[in-house]
Amino acid sequence: MYAQMVETGLKNVRSIDDMGQEERAFQARIDEGIKIEAKDWMPDAYRKTLIRQISQHAHSEIVGQLPEGNWVTRAPTLKRKSILLAKIQDEAGHGLYLYSAAETLGVSRDDLLAALHSGKAKYSSIFNYPTLSWADMGAIGWLVDGSAIINQIPLCRCSYGPYARAMIRVCKEESFHARQGYDIMMSLCKGTPEQKAMAQDALNRWWWPSLMMFGPSDAASVNSAQSAQWRIKLFSNDELRQRMVDQTVPQIEYLGLTVPDPDLKFNAETGHYEFGEIDWSEFNNVLKGNGPCNRERLQTRVKAYEDGVWFRDALLAYADKQAAVKAAA
């Protein structure tokens, strides 16, 4: 990816001539594929980029519980309900690993949460869409977790050790999530015509937002080139998006559903599917906070945090009391 970006002209990248000795040695370690650990020297900009990306990722996992949480009480069977609950609980766990990985870079969890609650920090655009039917649980697991896996598998090999290691477990769990999503879609597609129509409707609504999850096009991405030089990103947004389309279209066909893209066609020469233009104005609008559920998602998170104050206070009071008892003994 980096070589390709050199060819097309790098944007916002540190040149080797601007680097001091420490930074050159740091870049050389990265180029050799050596992991950077929390206590190693690193440029401020590398630290800042990782804090930005890892905290956004953590926030996405936490806010990502909300669209599915909406269906826990309405799951069609006890089995589906327990699977959904387990999946949502996994997402909470992913958020916690990722906040811990961000903390290794010297930032506090309280500050990260304050940035989320004030609307300053971003989280994935995908979680600002509503979940209107049970089929959305299938579409989210299959398409959203499926896209997350495609994005996150390379992160298991990224240059920052604590992030890479956190991603290994996350990816294993995401793979179970994607399968359970596809299983819901399979059941609906084998069911009544109304159930199949519900599956098609969910696909129609989640397809394009899932493609947007991978971020702006390579031409518009401000951070990609520098993140590639630092091996935080091993593949570009467009490369991963293409991988998602190539992998998912045959799955859509297997379900007997239709891709909601009249411009989609397979190019036998390249071996890839060509797809229609993404509506970037919709993506940018969601990023600005104006998606269908942005305000509701943030309000729900802030309320949950405020409702938990008494519980966190109780834990701290208990810990203080235990420490005092220990000190007195």
Q: 255-294: which residues touch ligand BYC (CB under 6 A)?
A: 287
* Complex with ligand BYC: residue 196 or 207, whichever CB lies closer: 207
Binding of ligand BYC by 301 (CB under 6 A):
no
Residue 273: phi and psi, rounded to 5, are -85, 135
Q: How far apart are CA 115 and CA 92, in angstroms?
A: 18
Q: Is 210 one of the binding residues for ligand BYC (CB under 6 A)?
A: no
Per CB under 6 A, the list member of 210, 221, 242, 248 interacting with ligand BYC is 221
Residues 73-112 as x/- pattern, contact with ligand BYC by CB under 6 A: ------------------x---------------------
User: For residues 156 and 186, which CB has a smaller minimum distance to ligand BYC in the complex?
Assistant: 156
Let me know if 224 is exposed, middle or buried by CB neighbors in 10 A (0-12, 13-18, 19+).
Answer: buried
Strands 272-274 and 265-267 come out as antiparallel
CB 76 within 8 A of CB 201: no
**Of 210, 227, 229, 248, which lies in the binding site for ligand BYC, with binding defined by CB under 6 A?**
227
- If one asks whether residue 128 binds ligand BYC (CB under 6 A), the answer comes out as no
Nearer to ligand BYC, 60 or 242 (CB): 60
Give me 183's structure tokens.
Answer: 């299983």
**List 2, 51, 57, 133, residue binding ligand BYC (CB under 6 A):** 57
Is 237 one of the binding residues for ligand BYC (CB under 6 A)? Answer: yes
Which one, 113 or 212, has the nearer CB to ligand BYC? 212
Query: Per CB under 6 A, does 144 bind ligand BYC?
Result: yes
Report how many residues bind ligand BYC under the rule CB under 6 A.
28
Are residues 127 and 63 in contact, defined by beta-carbon separation less than 8 angstroms?
A: yes
The whole-angstrom separation of Cα 35 and Cα 224 is 19
Stretch that binds ligand BYC, among 49-57, 74-82, 181-189, 292-300 (CB under 6 A): 49-57
Give the residue with the Cβ less far from ligand BYC, 125 or 248: 125
Q: Which residues pair with 272 in a beta bridge?
A: 267
Map the footprint of ligand BYC across residues 146-185, applying CB under 6 A.
Answer: 148, 151
Q: Is 52 in the site for ligand BYC (CB under 6 A)?
A: yes
What is the rounded CA–CA span in Å between residue 24 and residue 80? 53
User: Alpha-carbon dihedral of residues 130, 135, 137, 143, nearest 10 degrees?
Assistant: -90
Smallest gap from residue 6 Cβ to ligand BYC (A):
17
Among residues 253 and 279, whose Cβ is nearest to ligand BYC? 279
Please, which residue, 287 or 302, has the CB nearer to ligand BYC?
287
Choose between 5 and 213: whose C-beta lies nearer to ligand BYC: 213
Structure tokens given for 214 = 């991978």
Q: Nearer to ligand BYC by C-beta: 131 or 151? A: 151
Binding string, residues 13-42; x marks residues near ligand BYC by CB under 6 A = ------------------------------
Binding site for ligand BYC (CB under 6 A): 52-53, 56-57, 60-61, 64, 91, 122, 124-125, 144-145, 148, 151, 212-216, 221-224, 227, 233, 237, 287
